[in-house]
Structure 1
Amino acid sequence: MFVWRKRAGAGWLAANEVALREIAGRRLAIVSTPGHKNAIAEIASPNYSELEKIRKRFGGVIEKLPRNWVRKFLRGQKPKSLKIAKRLVIVSSTASGKMSTSKSNCLLIPAGAAFGTGEHATTAMTLRLLERMTRCWGAQAASLPVSAASRNFFEKFRPSAGCRRMQAGSLRSLARGFSLLDLGTGSGILALAAARFGAKRIIAIDHDPIAIATAKENARRNKIEQVDFQVADVRQWKFPARIDIITANLFSGLLIEILPKLKCAEWLILSGVLREQEPQLLRTLKRNGIAVGERRRRGKWIAMLGSAHPAELPRRCIGENVRYCEQNVRATPGKKFDAA
């Protein structure tokens, strides 16, 4: 394993971060120290020639890491945990004593080479949007009469004729659990979280074979079997005719390129976008008939929930419908539902 590093000031990073992310995606790390003006940009890769191209373009140095560098780095690190509402806890080690892989509300995602455990802003925001979006699916909603689920989930939509196909499809999904496509899966954390949230059919793809191998190991570690992991380029991959949810934690340029293909989903959760890239992405979404229902911002990153079915989707309508669904679930005898 090799790592490219460059120490640089805020101006250089602002001018080059987008280009670096288009090359390296989530493998780019920006390491800053309080009280210091400069930060360090790092990209890890087993491919020396890839990093050499980066060095020639951006400067910096390349170092070879020792074989057991991950173990040395993690030695002495405190186990981390990430809580998503009251439905999921993600930990990096069972040493924290907070989870067992046999529990349906827990995930064990060990920290490893270039793959996070959910704490990055883009992943955390996507996880929280996914959690909100799926509260009416799974065991809680599937146990409700369809009429009750229908009344509560769509009460605030007052759908036009253009919305009714989406409404009927979502009602069928409520009863059977949902399907999800995770683009750029990395450690597999979003796909595995979807399984915990009640997904019955999950496809997770990444162009990096190391990422897919890591994701498969995480699925095995958490005893999750319903995920189909595939090594593929999202620009060339054949998308299904219909799927309930797509999560795409990708850099902005790639999102814009593949956006027309994402309209096969009833709901889109998009992240990996910097704030300065938001206007261009919003314009592209509008041109493709995709309405944005909710936006979240954390630091320099944004995430958004959208849908092409219907285009009339009002902003933050999902939050309103989730609250109505929660009220119904709480009122169901023998059912317990914890809201965020």
Structure 2
Amino acid sequence: MWIWSKLSGVQWMDAWEDRFHGNPNAVISRLKTQKTIRVEVYTDTEAEAQEIKKLFGGSIRKLVHKNWALIKEPDRAPIRIRSSLIITGSRDDGAVDKLTKEFPGRHIIRIPADMAFGTGDHATTSTCIRMLVDIAKEKDTTPWDMLDLGTGTGVIAIAARMLGAASCHGMDFDPQAVTVARRNVRANHVGKINMSETDVLKWQPDRQWPVIVANMFSTILQQAFPVITAALEKDGHLIVSGILRDQWEETREIAHACGLQFEKVIIKGKWVTARGGHC
């Protein structure tokens, strides 16, 4: 057993929680000074620990004299999205088969925890998918495709294809995220999903989409609104998330200045998800 660890300012706790949400091997501790946190991830191999270090810096060390065989991934209840989807983090084929029988007619999405990523069950992600289900029902027989900005695990793009999107394009600036997303696409046996390593702040869209989901931190989202406005069809649907409650008003005002408005806003804990489109 190996452990990767890194010290960080307490102001970045939300970012680290979001990055490793759903990963049962991740631990975030606030130190006595209350100004610093320690982020740790336990791995089975040195290679896994080195991969996280490559992404985020920090240090690794080997742990000894512990009965690590007793440590196992905790059971997480599957997430039910409306009457359309079930998202599970289980790696057990039998568990997935059981869900298929228990919930006939629903699509089953498998997103197991990764060393550098969670299961995709964060409040922001699940709320985005619920809004996406509603849009898919409104679309009914109208053809549509989707752009997924900040794709992470790829779960939103996978959900969109299962809900009827003709195709999806997922983007993330993190190469590891793109690798994980592509793996999840293959594992869920869905096609017509393109994943690309793209910095949205440097990206210039060459077309427009009827549906865009942008699930990323508000500091990036605010800078990305001009390009999102350009990429969204005139009557298109936009879902944004990854926004902290105390950053929502500022984010909404910047969006409005870029020609965007939101008619539905959902707050879950400290996170905000909103649905809208062009003004």
| Structure 1 CA distance for aligned equivalents of residues 62 and 134 of structure 2 | 40
Aligned to 1:292: 262
Given the superposition, is the C-alpha separation of residues 25 and 32 from structure 1 closer, same or farther in structure 2, using an over 3 Å criterion?
closer
Partner of 1:99: 100
Distance 1:269 1:197 in 2: 16
* Residue number in structure 2 paired with 1:209: 175
Q: 1:307 to 1:74 in 2, by over 3 A?
A: farther
TM-score normalised per structure 1: 0.64
Conserved? CA contact 1:293–1:305, under 8 Å:
yes
Alpha-carbon offset, residue 106 of structure 1: 1.2
Give the distance between the partners of 1:254 and 1:120, measured in 2 at CA: 19
Instruction: Give ranges in structure 2 of 5+ residues lacking alignment.
Output: 42-49
- Residue 234 of structure 1: SS of its match in structure 2? coil
Query: Alpha carbons of 1:98 and 1:72: their partners in 2 closer, same or farther (altered >3 Å)?
Result: farther
Listed one character per residue, the Cα deviations across residues 139-174 of structure 1 (whole Å, up to 9, x for unaligned) are xx21xxxxxxxxxxxxxxxxxxxxxxxxxxxxxxx2
Following superposition, the deviation at residue 74 of structure 1 comes to 7.7
SS of match in other structure, 2:99: coil
Q: 8 Å contact 2:124–2:241 — kept in the other structure?
A: yes
Instruction: Please say if residues 200 and 224 of structure 2, whose CA atoms lie closer than 8 Å, have aligned partners that are also in contact.
Output: yes
CA drift of 1:207 comes to 1.6
CA contact (8 A) 1:79 1:95 kept: no
Identity of aligned residues (%): 25
What is the TM-score normalised by the length of structure 2? 0.77
Q: Is the 1:203–1:229 contact (alpha carbons within 8 Å) kept by the matching residues of 2?
A: yes
The answer to whether residue 195 in structure 2 is matched with residue 229 in structure 1 is: yes
Q: Contact conserved, 1:185 with 1:191, CA < 8 A, in 2? A: yes
**Could you tell me whether the CA contact under 8 Å between 1:274 and 1:300 is conserved in 2?**
yes
1:83 to 76, 80, 85: 80
Distance 1:277 1:79 in 2: 30
RMSD across aligned C-alpha pairs, in angstroms? 3.3
1:244 to 210, 214, 219: 210
Partner of 2:126: 124
1:95 CA displacement = 4.1
* Deviation at residue 187 of structure 1 after TM alignment: 1.0
| 1:255 shift after superposition | 0.5
Greater strand content: 2
- Partners of 1:182 and 1:73 lie apart in 2 by 39
Q: Aligned to 2:118, what secondary structure does the other structure show?
A: coil
Structure 1 CA distance for aligned equivalents of residues 193 and 40 of structure 2 = 28
Provide the secondary structure at the position in 1 that maps to 2:237. strand
Quote the Cα distance in structure 2 between the aligned partners of 1:255 and 1:246. Answer: 13
Give unpaired runs (5+ residues) of structure 1. Answer: 56-61, 143-173, 312-340
Secondary structure, counterpart of 2:200 in structure 1 = coil
TM-superposed CA distance for 1:130, in Å, is 1.1
Give the aligned partner of residue 114 of structure 1: 116
Structure 1 residues 104 and 223: alpha-carbon distance in aligned structure 2, compared to 1, 3 A threshold: farther
Query: Are residues 199 and 6 of structure 1, via their aligned partners in 2, closer, same or farther at CA, if it must alter by over 3 Å?
Result: same
Paired letter, 2:269 = G
Are 1:91 and 1:99, in contact at CA under 8 Å, matched by a contact in 2?
Answer: no
Q: Which amino acid aligns with 2:12?
A: E
Whole-angstrom CA distance in 1 between matches of 2:222 and 2:191: 32
Counterpart of 1:46 in structure 2 is 51
- Give 1 or 2: higher helix fraction: 1
